[in-house]
Amino acid sequence: MSRPRIVIVGAGFAGYRTARTLSRMTRGRAHITLLNPTDYFLYLPLLPQVAAGVLEPRRVTVSLSDTLPDVRLVLGEADRIDLDGQTLHYTGPEGDGGTLAYDRLVLAAGSVNKLLPIPGVAEHAHGFRGLPEALYLRDHVTRQVELAAAADDPGSCAARCTFVVVGAGYTGTEVAAHGQMFTDAQVRKHPLRQGMRPRWMLLDVAPRVLPEMDEKLSTTADRVLRQRGVDVRMGTSVKEATPDGVVLTDGEFVETRTLVWCVGVRPDPLVESLGLPMEKGRLLVDPHLQVPGRPELFACGDVAAVPDLDKPGSYTPMTAQHAWRHGKVAAENVAASLGLGGTRKPYRHRDLGFVVDLGGAKAAANPLGVPLSGVPAGAVTRGYHLAAMPGNRVRVAADWLLDAVLPRQAVQLGLVRSWSVPLDTSSPELARVPGGPERRQEEGARSGPGAAIAADTHGGGTGAGSSGGRAGEEPAKGQPGSGAAQAQPGSGTAQRRSEEELAKGRPAAEPARNWPTDEPAKGPVGGRSAKGRPGGESAKGRSGGEPAGNQPGGEPAKNQPGGESAKGQSGGEPARNQPGGEPARNQPGGEPAKGQPGGEPARNQPGPTPQPPADQPPPGPGTAPGPVKRSDAPDDSAKGDS
């Protein structure tokens, strides 16, 4: 008898716990496959400490292969689920498609950044849901402080040293608290020329910090933030974002180069494509985490609306604590449905309290309902994180110890650029990279500011309209394949998207100011692309000038169809190296031809600069330095980011 096939989508708190519990329960009696874009589980609560330089990035990641030895890991993102055929279509990290058949499917795809219809946010803000975003923020903050220290203009210095965090929930509060400590430590070692101090602002429309938590926790966190120098403004948010700053809802304009978006999350839009009953973007399930009418389908974590049996009529909130416990119950119920042990159990959870790490020895915690602050809260908070982490406990504890006795290394590695971590993406765990696979999507689905804003402003969750495609990266205007999106295997039929959606948050013709440096070079790398190149102007033979006469977008060459006939051709003057004409300049007795060895290079021909291989696009804004192919280009969202 063949073993049953179990497929789990997502390796967040819910998916990882489901896979680990199922592996222990089934003991090889089932094929367990885990589909995830990365090969690690990310411990999100410690991500602010990565951005502040307390922990190294690998400390908050746990290898899936090492900790789930009996689970098959498939790298990729789910595109489409055929419920009747019990198959799942996915796209791998290199653009190749694949299909997984299943007898039981567990959806634990997690959540993505939540957007609001605020002008400029999608272009100029960055989220905080994945490791690439944390690495980008650490480099960006370090760079801004260093540039501010070297700036002669007090206004520029103040703008670079102002950091705005929107959202005073769990994540935003920790980012602001750790960020203020991080920048203050930098300035103590290297004071700013104008004697200024870095300024962190925490904004939220809620009446208090941590509005979803106990009021005592909120009061403690607010007090610590204000004592540390954070400008806490409740009842205030962003009205508009620009490259030079933000307009607040009270009318004030704040000059800044940093906008961190922590207003909340929305369920991964994958579940919308199923056409099943939803609750504010989450898939409705019964107390056993099973989708009604679909005995083979389970859902848990942020994508599932799980009834709260202790509060009839409500659903469990989208927190890591609930997702972790969802995973265990889902695994037990999947195993029971296959006759592999155990009995079905409904999900019940008693609140064990929350902990908020505010940096240093400061924290706010209420374990088992007992409110704590100061050093005791800090000890409880870090003890809880060590106990909850499925790995790397010794390494994390060692980093904490070293941070307590040694100064932090404030260096920018430049590994993640602004355009690599757009705010509106369905894959915050992945950074956009040069040469990455171009993947299309359906209208209103996985990515694009227009789609996400519509999703977040209708029904409190994701909007109407299903998607068969995972968030892709459509080509910029003028790129091959632009216009109507092209379908990829397993993604369904792609449709044309509006120009506004294509323009926002997409790689554009003009390079980001921080790719590869603050100001684009006027030469081949980082300069303006050619008019004959997709999306820009060409140099006379190089980038940055008029199009060559024989290049697309320029006048036809005189010896090309549609142009004047070449001298020596029918209807024209005889060529200089033909009988009756002057000798050719590169022939014996003549001057060397311009563009031939020994002569002046032709005006519209490449100069002596070495050319890339034939299978690589020419240098320009869409090509990274070095022999790396690139299919997308930096977008305008990086303007203002140095």
More confident residue, 104 or 191: 104
Q: Which of 157-171, 376-390, 423-437 is predicted with the least confidence, judged by mean pLDDT?
A: 423-437
Q: Where are the alpha helices (DSSP H) in 27-169?
A: 47-51, 64-67, 121-124, 131-150, 154-160
Higher pLDDT, 629 or 329: 329
Confidence of residue 294 (pLDDT cuts 50, 70, 90): very high
pLDDT of residue 61: 97
Instruction: Report pLDDT digits (tens) over 265-276.
Output: 999 999 998 999
pLDDT band, residue 73 (cuts 50/70/90): very high
The residue to which tokens 């429309």 are assigned? 205
- β-bridge partners, 88: 81, 100
Q: Is the pLDDT score of 416 beyond 60? A: yes
| pLDDT recorded at residue 532 | 38
Q: Is the pLDDT of residue 186 over 50?
A: yes
Q: What is the pLDDT of residue 506?
A: 38
Taking the C-alpha atoms of residue 165 and residue 238, their distance in angstroms, rounded to an integer, is 10
pLDDT at 53 over 90: yes
Q: What percent of the chain has pLDDT over 90?
A: 54
Q: What's the pLDDT score for residue 428? A: 87
Side-chain-facing half-sphere of 326: CA atoms under 13 Å: 36
* Contact indicator for 160, 146 with CB cutoff of 8 Å: no
Q: What is the pTM of this model?
A: 0.70
Mean pLDDT of 23-45: 95
The pLDDT tens digits of the residues spanning 126-183 come to 999 999 999 999 999 999 999 999 888 999 999 999 999 999 999 999 999 999 999 9
Question: pLDDT at residue 121 above 70?
Answer: yes
Measured torsion, CA atoms of residues 445, 446, 450, 454, in degrees rounded to the nearest 10: 70
For the chain, first and last CA: distance in Å? 61
Which helix or strand (DSSP H or E) is residue 166 part of?
A: strand 162-166
Q: Which helix (H) or strand (E) holds 77?
A: strand 77-82
Per-residue pLDDT averaged across 100-124, rounded? 94
Among the residues of 359-498, which ranges form H helices?
Answer: 374-388, 393-405, 449-456
Give the distance from CA 519 to its chain's centroid: 23
pLDDT tens digits, 198-218: 999 999 999 999 998 889 899
The mean predicted confidence, pLDDT, of the chain is: 76
Closest-CA residue to 144 (of 115, 186, 89, 207): 186
pLDDT at 478 over 60: no
| β-bridge pairing 278-279 and 282-284 | antiparallel
Average pLDDT of 7-27? 96
Which pLDDT score is estimated for 1?
56
Whether the predicted pLDDT of 70 surpasses 70? yes
Mean pLDDT of the region 226-236: 96
| Nearest in space to 41 (alpha carbons), one of 495, 467, 392, 529 | 392
3 CA to centre of own chain: 37
